[in-house]
Structure 1
Amino acid sequence: MTNGQAFNESQNRVFSMSLIHEELYKGSEAYTLDFSSYLERLAENLLKTYSTSSKNICLKMDLEENTFLDMDTAVPLGIIVNELISNSLKHAFTEKRKGEIQVRFCRNEEEKSDKMHNLIFCLTISDNGKGIPEDLDLENIESLGLQLVSTLVDQLEGEFQLKRDNGTNFKLSFSVKEKENQAYQQPYINSLNIE
């Protein structure tokens, strides 16, 4: 990795956190933010950052609307999203001219809440690129980005799954404490295409 690439990756991590603070100040509550709105802006920034390599990559987003998360959840989740989308943009499509990255953020419909009044959410980031090699052990990987993802999943007390068929599929399940004033509506679909 060149110094320029390392600098860009660090810059993206800082941007993901600063964007959270920007979204917080736009909201009505000081300590929560609309996470789906944040995800859209973060993904758009990443596509711009990697604009040379992402010319023919379509980003599809299926996001739960009006899901407000507090800082303790939003910050690690934002960095996880940053790392996984960045990895797809950098590595998944080196041998393909066109590709698709999908981001899905929703409540787990099978288990809407547990006995402790926690809502269960799933975040899935997948691509139809070349996939992660089978012999790559994620537990012992040297990539700072994936080490960071693993640490943040532990911080969220979440469960992380990786599927390597037809590309790469990362799925994170985690819970957040339900609040009486949170509004949950139907998910919406938004597609971003970079030509």
Structure 2
Amino acid sequence: MVRRITVIQGHPDSKNHHFCHALADSYIKGARNSAFEVRLIDVASMDFPLLRSKDDFEHDTSVESIRQAQEAIRWADHLVIVYPLWLGTMPALLKAFFEQVLRPSFAFDYTEPARLPKKHLTGKSARIVVTMGMPAYIYRWFFFAHGVKTLERNILAFCGIKPIRTSLVGSIESRSEAQRKKWLSSMQQLGETGR
């Protein structure tokens, strides 16, 4: 049973309130209504450097905000990752965040001699929530949701996180107020069930 949830707000704009923020807020409201413990990581408000070498990636960071994010992920039973689709995948800031946070020794380690990953985040589940300008079915069926699949398979599952569920919110600019309210209600219900 999920009891502790960490929501990762991956929208890179911290100056404006976007629909990604409203979706995350609705999920958090639902989770708290069900007495789940919730922590929020707002990637846009964090300050961390880009990784530029293998050496940077393989050695622990001294950035306090990254250590706090790692602790929030370690603490959680369930992760909720919310972001807008940019050029078919997650915004660069969110990718840079994952590169900083999901390092060897925290998220996985390689085993010898096969160098297969030893997964350190097993026992956690995740939900990925993505907003986009195109209809969601086009992204899913024509583009095979390639950016989301990369996050699912090559990042989260690689570290042992499963099951991973997705919510794709398409045609975001043309959604009516009633359609937006329906999505917010759906997110609140997901929060109430911890899914």
Give the TM-score normalised by the residue count of structure 1.
0.30
Flag the structure with higher strand content: 1
> Which has the higher relative contact order, 1 or 2, with Cα contacts under 8 A spaced 6 or more apart?
2
Flag the structure with higher helix content: 2
